[in-house]
Amino acid sequence: MNDLRGAVALSHLLLRERVRAGDRVVDATCGNGNDTLLLAKLVGPGGRVWGFDLQERALVATRELLAAEGCLAQAELVRAGHERLGEYVTEPLAAVVFNLGYLPGGDKGVVTRPVTTLRALNAALDLLLPGGILLVAIYTGHDGATEEEKAVLVWGSGLDPKAFSVWTSRQLNRPPTAPYLVLVEKRRNGA
Ligand code: SAM
């Protein structure tokens, strides 16, 4: 069990709680593949994880990681913006993960952006199963991060509470600039 330090650790705890073998799930920002790997392990060979990234470098890293862990068979890695999610995925999803910002150690010019992030979040909500969760790790350090953060918070605040439960989770004993998590659950008995 990992320490609960930071947004990604909390997101992994929630994924372990909710994602089951055989589920369909999406990693909307593969990056170095850490979230994709966890999802691939949780869904197992009978499940499916779609991983999106704009950068070939990210997909190569993710593919290598999954192959090394014997999880590649249940993964479909897509070089496309997550805003095009609906073109690639039509199956109901148990979980969707976003890790905003840039690829650690990569090109800081390739970052998630408010318009495409919102388009992808809406596409993800459309596909989410009742009881399904959408997790967004919000970063504050990249170009345009403040606008993106505001856009996600306004979007989340506007979701109908009869249909969705929306949370933010911050680690209080870290600087206010530390990454934090937004969680959306599609309610099982929602509107
Ligand atoms: N989850 C990753 C991990 O475990 O290493 C970290 C993700 S990193 C913070 C953000 C990633 O989003 C980068 O690899 C970047 O290329 C990707 N990205 C930026 N805009 C994107 C978009 N529109 N669609 C998909 N991926 C995008």
Structural domain of 180: 7-186
* Residue 166 located in a structural domain: yes
* Residue 191 located in a structural domain: no
Helix (H, G, I), strand (E, B), or coil: what is residue 76? Answer: strand
* Residue 77 located in a structural domain: yes
Determine the distance separating the centroid of ligand 1 and the alpha carbon of 189, expressed in angstroms. Answer: 32
- Overall pTM surpassing 0.90 (yes/no): yes
* Residue nearest atom 4 of ligand 1, based on CA coordinates: 34
Helix (H, G, I), strand (E, B), or coil: what is residue 61? Answer: helix
* Residue nearest atom 13 of ligand 1, based on CA coordinates: 103
The DSSP call for residue 135 is E
pLDDT at position 191 over 70: no
Q: How many domains does the chain have?
A: 1
* Residue 78 located in a structural domain: yes
* Residue 176 located in a structural domain: yes
Q: Which two three-digit tokens encode residue 37?
A: 């790997």
Determine the distance separating the centroid of ligand 1 and the alpha carbon of 120, expressed in angstroms. Answer: 12
pLDDT in tens, 82-123: 999 999 999 999 999 999 999 888 888 899 999 999 999 999
Determine the distance separating the centroid of ligand 1 and the alpha carbon of 82, expressed in angstroms. Answer: 9
29 φ, ψ to 5°?
-145, 85
CATH number, domain at 31? 3.40.50.150
| Closest C-alpha to 141, from 132, 149, 133 | 149
